[in-house]
Amino acid sequence: MKTVFRKQFNDLRAESVTRDVPNITEATALYLYSIVRSVRPKRILEVGTANGLSTMVFAEAMRENGLGDIDTIDWSKPTYEEATANFKRYEYTQIHQHFGDARVLIPSMAQVYDVVFIDAMKKDYLNYMQVLRGLVHEESIIIFDDVIKFKYKMEVFYNYLAEHSIDHTVINTDPDDGIMVLYDMSSLGLC
């Protein structure tokens, strides 16, 4: 990440830590940033905006790639409004916010996404994934956050992956946590 953005990231992260806002860590941010820089997605869907920190990591990488738009969904009015202010403050115009229940909003989206990032209610990870049908293509990537630390909240999701022999990669981005990446959309029956 560029030095200017790293300062913005660290400042916003420090603000959020004092208020216990659930944000990605710097290690996870660097990993997500590198994925976007290498995959060069045209469209990203994010489920769980919080104060917009992860959204801005995606936006910065897409800005450096010279392309792309982001749809981000959140159901908490205070964090939605805080994210709106952060996006304006840092001048990210390629971010399109949606307020409401992602399980209801996702099926109404009219885009096909190259990357989907899910960092919302852990017990609903399977539901979020299943409503993506028709909104991803064979080469899309779905990334889930907090899959180690909060695995106990995702028992239904992990059981579904095992029962359907769905390939996934868990990456330790932090000492006690990490992300999961799904690459094969056709095995999920989503495209």
pLDDT at 67 over 90: no
Mean pLDDT of 19-26: 78
Which pLDDT value is given to residue 150?
96
Q: What is the pTM of this model?
A: 0.92
pLDDT at 4 over 70: no
Res. 120 pLDDT band, cuts 50 70 90: very high
Res. 3 pLDDT band, cuts 50 70 90: low
Query: d(Cα 176, Cα 38) in Å, to the nearest integer?
Result: 26
Per-position b or e across 20-47, b if 16+ CB within 10 A of its CB: ebebbbbbbbbbbbebbeeeebebbbbb
Q: Residue 148 CB: number of other CB atoms within 10 A?
A: 16
Res. 1 pLDDT band, cuts 50 70 90: low
pLDDT at 20 over 80: no
Query: d(Cα 37, Cα 60) in Å, to the nearest integer?
Result: 9
Q: Residue 117 CB: number of other CB atoms within 10 A?
A: 27
Between 186 and 157, where is the model more confident? 157
Q: Is 32 helix (H, G, I), strand (E, B) or coil?
A: helix
Between 188 and 59, where is the model more confident? 59
Q: What percent of the chain has pLDDT over 70?
A: 97
Which pLDDT value is given to residue 146?
96
Nearest in space to 75 (alpha carbons), one of 37, 44, 106:
106
Average pLDDT of the chain to the nearest whole number: 91
Mean pLDDT of 176-189: 89
Query: d(Cα 191, Cα 187) in Å, to the nearest integer?
Result: 9
